[in-house]
């Protein structure tokens, strides 16, 4: 802020931006008064920086001025001047965008404004992998734009997820979630191109209702902390002459709209500001509302969670190599190779288009000889980069296949083992083809494969790292973690037993499914940790993104489009000649124009030539072909938009569904093979159904469903329906599969505007996405377990439930569904929604019928968490427990499912002891659910019966016991004890809880004992602290337990003290007994008088 405005601002009042040359600086200093885009308002030290906060202003406002109180000097702005003092760990920024109303020629929609906000976040430091959690201040239209951005990100792809995960909450001021008074605004914009934007903000707007439904669902699932402020004063309006304040005063945003009607249910989330709509965010110094907002903002900051996705460089930090090399067997070596290999790990190579005739040969020419020199004598990295569609992958395939590459890499006199490893990231491929895990597995597989003659050394190096994963009983490895794979690669690159000369070729780093700076950090770490005498060089390709430029600007490189004009010319004339004489003559005169417009983008040339060749069959004059060429956009995304809009209207919905399904590749499914195309086509059919109909009803109830048969002509229909954006790919040794014609086509479909291009006016009303279609497909084809991941992802990406669809399915359908963890059968839709983690289904059920849970006859508490192949471990166990808590808080009672507690505790008995990591996945849900029931009034002291066939039922174990006798973890034991469990109550065999705990530990096999020792040890200490004793454990057995704990490095002092106390009490009891007997004997000697 200037104390006095510079002269250029005073003298050039019609201008809002100035470029000021500064001596010594390469670029001029830019000064502006419009504050468009992101503008940081304060600096925070890196060590103390914890949060970021962005303020988004409202309609017809100034990004800075709208937050300032109206007074002459305009020197105070509370977000800049006061908030950093109140929250010193937070960096504050304002976001500016054009929302001018009067005489505006902008026809931006709210979706456009949201897309712009997303793009500015992505382009700023707010989207880096090390970015801090984000909170927002949003006023009026700014809140609507923010909500639309959040919804768009939720329905985005992998890289949007990182940004979405940063959102924690914020404060919304006068945001018209249900519309606002707009009659005065409509008078201002009548006849202008921005009139629709004002209509979208009107009371009763269907768009706002739909947006709020989706946003509220997403915010609920993500536990966002949101506050809603409403105005309590009327605002001046305008009359037709646009004179501010000349019109009648009115409430612009009603309380119901500003608070999303939460005033009757969640009063803590709303608060009033005694001002009008505009003035409610213009705090002055010492404004009492400022302290209220600060308090709300602090709660929003503390309520979220944050996870960094940046690579931390742990490779090699946990491996130390020694010189001694013991012998190793073949079994683990062979099994490891089987474990590392995955289907299609090199399938991408087959699908990359071959270079055309003599193209790409320039890469080895003397005049372009930087790559040749690097291959022969260079070190470190070489970077091949270029525009999307410029032919980078084709060039990389050419380099791999050309004998010149391997001649230049070969060292005749070297004693080193030469290892060449290749990995081609493939965003349109399977999860492993585009993930960090896939890269690690592929590299490790290829390195070990080349070291086959040295397998004894390899086995010795990896044995200490993988021993805990080797099952000698089953002669196979259990699943390896990312850390295990990293450690194995580190061990091989750091070892000095075999001299290695390594060359890695990595294609399309930009198609890695995580943050680009992560993968950059990883390959740099690979280079850094390769120990002498081993050598490593890496050739990689990517788009010229800023992240890659910043990391590799100094390494030797090639920009592909600078060298391909000759290749494009060769390709064009070659394709034209192959079309026959008649078409060649028609196309010949426009080929030079095609070459000149190509700008190095091979893909554009391929698409244009295909279209022109087809048009040449029906167009006779050359001028007609010239006009067609002139109508074709040069930008690939614009070309795809034109292609989609030319799809016949009757096929638009089919195109949307097919391309949506292809663009979304969740972790739980692979690419849709042609043999499985029936699934996708069926999804197209089912996606149009919102309720039951005769055909689907029949499929749900019939015993056998015949799948739709694949026909040879389906790829032709696919071509027509998708405008050639999708294709059938045939790879040698692999099933044909459907995928996008190019990565740029997939990115177009993932873009914010695809739905609008393909569906037109239906786009706003369409909430369904790929997850919706696949969920409906599996449900209607009697595969509900397969539908579960998609049902969850549907809710998490759309913010909506599938209640109408699920409620249209006959109830008998769910009663046939068996809980995979137990013999319990689900008995209705609500039980299924809990089993499949559909929180929004439950919310909507209660919204329609608040007494639904009180009235239901379904057994909801017996529903267990789905098997871990559906979910990822402890987090989902916690979500399941949260659902049980939710139903118990909203009318359901323990009495409605009286056997639930017994069933859960019997589940603890049913399963044998596993490694503790497996316990986290398989059993944590049991203990979490038990805790929920106990906290809601379940008696912890009821008897639990063990079936006769149970493994635990033996002469040493009772058939009847209580929950405290089965508790293995400290957390569950504490919960039971806090709610009245008897610390020394006996089971039917006379065992105390401590007896049962120690005996359970004794049954754990030696392989798993180290995993469980500390768990049992901590639980035992808790029981002892509460006064636990043993009744049936002998002194000899006690000593064995203590020796075992001590061998694992655990403190046995509390157990020793407990044993001493038990022995002391026993001695006292024995002496007391002897004394009583003696006294009774004396009494016998002296008869009563």
Write a three-state SS string for 34-96: CCCEEEECCCCCCCCCCEEEEEECCCCCCCCHHHCCCCCCCCCCHHHHCHHHHCCCEEEEEEE
CA distance 903 to 908: 9
Residue 170 has a pLDDT of: 95
Please provide the DSSP assignment of 975-992 as one string. Answer: HHHHTT--TT---TTS--
CA distance 809 to 806: 5
Better-scored residue on pLDDT, 827 or 389: 389
The yes-or-no verdict on residue 894 having pLDDT over 70 is yes
CA distance 277 to 273: 9
Q: How many residues does the chain have?
A: 1089
Which phi and psi (to 5°) does residue 729 adopt?
A: -110, 130
Do 471 and 339 meet the contact criterion of CB atoms below 8 Å apart? no
Give the residue among 1004, 1002, 967 at the shortest CA–CA distance from 983: 967
Residue 995 has a pLDDT of: 92
Q: What is the pLDDT of residues 329-340, one digit of tens each?
A: 444 444 566 666
Mean pLDDT for 450-458 is 86
The yes-or-no verdict on residue 304 having pLDDT over 60 is no
The yes-or-no verdict on residue 927 having pLDDT over 90 is no
Cα 645 to Cα 175, 178, 652, 756, distances in angstroms: 35, 33, 9, 10
Q: What percent of the chain has pLDDT over 70?
A: 77
Domain 36-302 CATH class label: alpha beta
Residue 98 has a pLDDT of: 82
CA distance 773 to 791: 10
Which phi and psi (to 5°) does residue 844 adopt?
A: -70, -35
Which phi and psi (to 5°) does residue 774 adopt?
A: -70, -35
Model confidence at 282, in pLDDT bands (50, 70, 90)?
very high
818 DSSP 8-state letter: B
Residue 509 has a pLDDT of: 94
Mean pLDDT for 852-878 is 74
Topology adopted by domain 330-562: Rossmann fold (3.40.50)
Do 522 and 485 meet the contact criterion of CB atoms below 8 Å apart? no
> How many other β-carbons are positioned within 10 Å of the β-carbon of residue 467?
9
Q: What is the pLDDT of residues 478-524, one digit of tens each?
A: 556 788 888 888 989 988 889 999 999 999 999 998 888 889 999 99
Query: Residue 1038 is encoded by which pair of tokens?
Result: 């006690």
Q: What are the residues facing 19 on neighbouring strands?
A: 30
Q: What is the pLDDT of residues 172-203, one digit of tens each?
A: 999 999 999 887 777 676 767 677 888 888 99
The yes-or-no verdict on residue 1068 having pLDDT over 70 is no
Chain center to CA of 461: 35
Q: Where do the CATH 3.40.50.1820 domains begin and end in the chain?
A: 36-302
Do 364 and 402 meet the contact criterion of CB atoms below 8 Å apart? yes
Q: What is the pLDDT of residues 86-139, one digit of tens each?
A: 999 999 999 998 877 666 667 788 888 998 899 888 888 787 767 899 999 999
Q: What is the pLDDT of residues 400-424, one digit of tens each?
A: 999 999 999 988 777 889 999 999 9
Residue 345: asked if its preceding bond is cis (omega within 30°), the reply is: no
Model confidence at 309, in pLDDT bands (50, 70, 90)?
very low
CA contacts within 13 A on the Cβ side of 518: 21
CA 706, 711, 714, 717 dihedral sign is negative
Q: What is the pLDDT of residues 674-728, one digit of tens each?
A: 445 545 555 555 555 544 444 444 444 443 333 333 344 444 467 788 888 888 7
- Rounded to whole angstroms, the maximal C-alpha distance in the chain is 142
Residue 36 has a pLDDT of: 82
Topology adopted by domain 958-1072: 1.25.40
* Helix (H), strand (E) at residue 381: strand 380-385
Residue 1070 has a pLDDT of: 61
The yes-or-no verdict on residue 323 having pLDDT over 80 is no
Residue 1009 has a pLDDT of: 64
Hey, which bits of 73-180 come out as E strands?
90-96, 134-139, 167-173
Mean pLDDT for 279-308 is 82
Model confidence at 241, in pLDDT bands (50, 70, 90)?
very low
Better-scored residue on pLDDT, 147 or 826: 147
Q: What is the pLDDT of residues 544-566, one digit of tens each?
A: 998 899 899 999 999 999 999 99
CA distance 200 to 394: 47
Model confidence at 4, in pLDDT bands (50, 70, 90)?
low
Residue 325 has a pLDDT of: 34
Mean pLDDT for 809-827 is 73
Q: What is the pLDDT of residues 1016-1052, one digit of tens each?
A: 899 999 999 999 999 999 888 898 888 888 888 889 9
Model confidence at 477, in pLDDT bands (50, 70, 90)?
very low
Do 1003 and 997 meet the contact criterion of CB atoms below 8 Å apart? no
Residue 105 has a pLDDT of: 64
Give the residue among 39, 123, 138, 51 at the shortest CA–CA distance from 86: 51
Residue 666 has a pLDDT of: 41
Q: What is the pLDDT of residues 612-661, one digit of tens each?
A: 888 888 877 778 888 999 999 999 999 999 999 989 888 898 889 888 88
Q: Where do the CATH 1.25.40 domains begin and end in the chain?
A: 958-1072
Give the residue among 140, 52, 131 at the shortest CA–CA distance from 89: 52
Q: What are the residues facing 93 on neighbouring strands?
A: 40, 54
Residue 844: asked if its preceding bond is cis (omega within 30°), the reply is: no
Q: What is the pLDDT of residues 965-1003, one digit of tens each?
A: 988 888 889 999 999 999 999 998 899 999 998 888 777
């Amino acid at each position: 802020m200037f104390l006095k405005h510079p002269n250029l601002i005073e003298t050039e009042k019609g201008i809002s931006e100035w470029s000021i040359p500064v001596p010594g600086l390469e670029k001029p200093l830019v000064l502006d008064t419009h504050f468009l885009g992101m503008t940081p308002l304060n600096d925070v030290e890196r060590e103390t920086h914890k949060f970021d906060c962005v303020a988004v202003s409202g309609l017809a406002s100034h990004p800075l001025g709208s937050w300032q109180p109206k007074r002459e000097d305009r020197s105070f702005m509370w977000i800049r001047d006061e908030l950093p003092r109140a929250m010193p760990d937070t960096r504050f920024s304002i976001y500016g965008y054009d929302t001018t109303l009067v005489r505006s020629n902008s026809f931006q929609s709210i979706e456009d404004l949201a897309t712009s906000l997303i793009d500015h976040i992505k382009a700023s430091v707010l989207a880096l992998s090390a970015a801090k959690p984000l909170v927002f201040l949003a006023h009026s239209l700014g809140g609507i734009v923010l909500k639309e951005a959040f919804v768009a990100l939720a329905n985005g792809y992998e890289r949007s997820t990182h940004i979405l995960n940063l959102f924690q909450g914020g404060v919304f001021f006068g945001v018209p979630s249900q519309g606002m008074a707009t009659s005065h605004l409509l008078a201002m914009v009548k006849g202008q191109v921005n009139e629709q934007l004002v209509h979208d903000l009107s009371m009763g707007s269907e768009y706002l209702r739909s947006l709020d439904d989706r946003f509220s669902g997403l915010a609920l699932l993500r536990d966002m902390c949101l506050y809603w402020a409403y105005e309590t004063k009327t605002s001046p309006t305008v009359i037709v002459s646009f004179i501010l304040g000349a019109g009648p005063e009115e409430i612009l945003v009603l309380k119901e709209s500003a608070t999303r009607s939460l005033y009757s249910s969640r009063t803590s989330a709303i608060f009033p500001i005694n001002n009008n709509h505009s003035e409610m965010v213009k705090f002055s110094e010492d404004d009492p509302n400022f302290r209220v907002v600060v308090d709300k903002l602090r709660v929003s900051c503390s309520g979220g969670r944050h996870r960094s996705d940046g690579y931390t460089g742990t490779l090699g930090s946990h491996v130390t190599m020694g010189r001694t090399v013991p012998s190793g067997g073949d079994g683990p070596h062979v099994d490891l190779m089987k474990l590392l290999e995955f289907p299609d790990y090199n399938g991408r190579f087959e699908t990359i288009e071959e270079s055309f005739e003599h193209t790409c040969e320039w890469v080895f020419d003397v005049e372009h000889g930087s790559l040749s020199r690097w291959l022969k004598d260079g070190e470190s990295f070489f970077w091949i980069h270029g525009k999307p569609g410029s032919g980078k992958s084709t060039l990389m395939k050419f380099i791999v296949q050309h004998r010149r590459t391997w001649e230049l890499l070969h060292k005749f006199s070297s004693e080193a083992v030469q290892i060449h490893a290749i990995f081609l990231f493939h965003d349109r491929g399977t999860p492993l083809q585009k993930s960090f895990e896939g890269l690690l597995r592929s590299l490790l597989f290829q390195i070990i494969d080349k070291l086959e003659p040295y397998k004894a050394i390899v086995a010795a190096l990896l044995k200490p790292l993988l021993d805990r994963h080797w099952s000698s009983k089953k002669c196979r490895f259990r699943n390896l973690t990312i850390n295990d794979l990293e450690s194995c690669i580190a061990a091989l690159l750091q070892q000095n037993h075999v001299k290695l000369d390594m060359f890695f070729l990595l294609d399309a780093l930009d198609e890695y499914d995580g943050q680009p700076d992560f993968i950059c950090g990883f390959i740099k770490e690979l280079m850094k940790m390769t120990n002498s005498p081993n050598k490593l060089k890496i050739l990689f390709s990517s788009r010229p993104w800023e992240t890659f430029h910043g990391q590799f600007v100094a390494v030797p490189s090639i920009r592909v489009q600078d060298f391909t004009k000759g290749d494009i010319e060769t390709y064009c004339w070659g394709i034209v000649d192959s079309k026959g004489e008649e078409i060649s003559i028609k196309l010949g005169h426009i080929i030079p124009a095609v070459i000149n417009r190509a700008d190095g983008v091979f893909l554009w040339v391929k698409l244009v030539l295909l279209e022109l060749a087809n048009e040449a069959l029906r167009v006779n004059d050359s001028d007609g072909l010239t006009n067609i060429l002139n109508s074709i956009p040069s930008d690939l995304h614009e070309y795809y938009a034109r292609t989609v809009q030319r799809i016949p209207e009757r096929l638009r919905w089919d195109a949307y569904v097919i391309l949506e399904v292809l663009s979304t590749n969740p972790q739980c499914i692979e690419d849709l093979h042609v043999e499985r195309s029936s699934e996708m086509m069926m999804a197209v059919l089912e996606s149009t159904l919102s309720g039951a109909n005769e055909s689907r009803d029949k499929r749900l109830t019939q015993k056998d469903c015949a799948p739709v048969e694949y026909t040879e002509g389906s790829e032709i229909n696919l071509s027509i329906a998708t405008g050639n954006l999708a294709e059938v790919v045939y790879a040698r040794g692999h099933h044909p599969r459907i995928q996008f014609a190019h990565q740029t086509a997939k990115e177009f479909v993932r873009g914010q505007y695809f739905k609008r291009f393909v569906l037109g006016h239906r786009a706003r009303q369409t909430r369904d996405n790929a997850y919706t279609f696949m969920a409906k497909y599996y449900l209607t084809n009697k595969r509900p377990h397969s539908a579960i991941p998609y049902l969850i992802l549907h809710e998490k990406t759309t913010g909506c439930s599938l209640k109408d669809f699920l409620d249209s399915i006959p109830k008998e359908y769910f009663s046939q569904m068996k809980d995979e963890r137990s013999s319990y059968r689900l008995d209705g839709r609500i039980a299924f929604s809990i089993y499949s983690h559909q929180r929004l289904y439950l919310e909507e059920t209660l919204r329609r019928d608040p007494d639904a849970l009180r009235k239901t006859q379904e057994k909801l508490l017996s529903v267990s968490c789905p098997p871990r192949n559906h979910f990822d471990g402890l987090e989902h166990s916690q979500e399941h427990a949260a659902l049980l808590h939710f139903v118990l808080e909203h009318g359901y009672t323990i009495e409605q499912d009286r056997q639930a507690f017994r069933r859960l505790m019997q589940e603890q008995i049913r399963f044998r002891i596993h490694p503790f990591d497996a316990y986290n996945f398989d059993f944590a849900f049991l203990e979490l659910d038990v805790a929920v029931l106990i906290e809601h009034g379940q008696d912890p002291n009821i008897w639990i019966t063990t079936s006769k066939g149970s493994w635990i039922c033996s002469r040493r174990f009772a058939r009847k016991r209580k929950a405290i006798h089965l508790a293995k973890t400290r957390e569950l034991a504490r919960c039971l004890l806090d709610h009245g469990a008897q610390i020394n109550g006996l089971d039917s065999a006379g065992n105390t809880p401590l007896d049962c705990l120690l005996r359970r530990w004794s049954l754990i096999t030696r392989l798993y004992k180290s995993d469980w020792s500390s768990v049992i040890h901590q639980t035992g200490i808790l029981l002892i602290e509460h006064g636990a004793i043993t009744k049936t454990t002998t002194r000899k057995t006690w000593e064995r337990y203590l020796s075992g704990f001590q061998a694992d490095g655990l403190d046995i002092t509390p157990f020793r003290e407990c044993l001493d106390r038990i022995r002391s009490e026993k001695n006292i009891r024995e002496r007391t007994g002897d004394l009583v007997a003696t006294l009774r004997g004396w009494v016998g000697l002296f008869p009563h008088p």
